[in-house]
């Protein structure tokens, strides 16, 4: 099976959705792990998945900013990515006490931007945007 992603917005939507699933699954997995093995800290490989999604989101935002025809979308994309990065990094280092809800809000906002951009993207050629039917 060949998976093709026609736009950076599709990549952003997929990555953002997987990131949110990862965040939602984390508390349940920790409860399960703590009950089974007595480990209370998150394993390093699990925390690194956060940064993996953040890197994917960066490239999706970078490409979306280059292909969007809506000038107001460019700063919104970067502001939302920076906010998401701050929330994710803050979650590990705890500079400011923030509720987990902020992670979900930032990821949801970034997904919504990609959905909007995908729907209303108007490029000069079909090479950067999915053709709408």
DSSP calls for 5-74: --SHHHHHHHHHHHHHHHHHHHHHHHHHHHHHH---SPPHHHHHHHHHHHHHHHHHHHHHHHH-S-TTHH
pLDDT the model gives residue 131: 41
Average pLDDT of span 72-86: 93
Distance in angstroms (rounded) separating the CA atoms of residues 12 and 9: 5
- Residue 76 DSSP label: H
Give the alpha-carbon dihedral of 112, 118, 124, 126, to 10 degrees: 160
Sign of CA dihedral 107, 110, 116, 119: negative
pTM of the model: 0.68
Residue-wise pLDDT for 19-74, tens only, equals 667 666 666 666 555 555 555 566 677 678 788 888 888 988 898 888 888 889 89
Is residue 78 over pLDDT 90?
A: yes
Distance in angstroms (rounded) separating the CA atoms of residues 26 and 69: 37
Please provide the size of the chain in residues.
Answer: 133
Is residue 86 over pLDDT 90?
A: yes
**Distance between terminal CA atoms of the chain?**
24
């Amino acid at each position: 099976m060949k998976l093709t992603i026609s736009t950076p917005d599709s990549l952003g939507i997929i990555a953002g959705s997987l990131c949110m699933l990862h965040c939602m699954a984390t508390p349940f997995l920790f409860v399960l792990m703590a009950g089974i093995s007595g480990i209370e800290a998150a394993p390093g490989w699990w925390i690194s998945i956060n940064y993996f999604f953040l890197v994917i989101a960066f490239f999706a935002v970078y490409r979306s900013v280059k292909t969007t025809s809506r000038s107001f979308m460019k700063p919104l994309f970067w502001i939302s990515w920076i906010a998401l990065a701050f929330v994710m990094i803050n979650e590990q280092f705890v500079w400011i006490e923030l509720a987990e809800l902020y992670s979900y809000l930032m990821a949801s906002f970034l997904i919504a931007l990609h959905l909007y951009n995908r729907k209303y993207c108007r490029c000069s050629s079909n090479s950067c945007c999915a053709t709408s039917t």
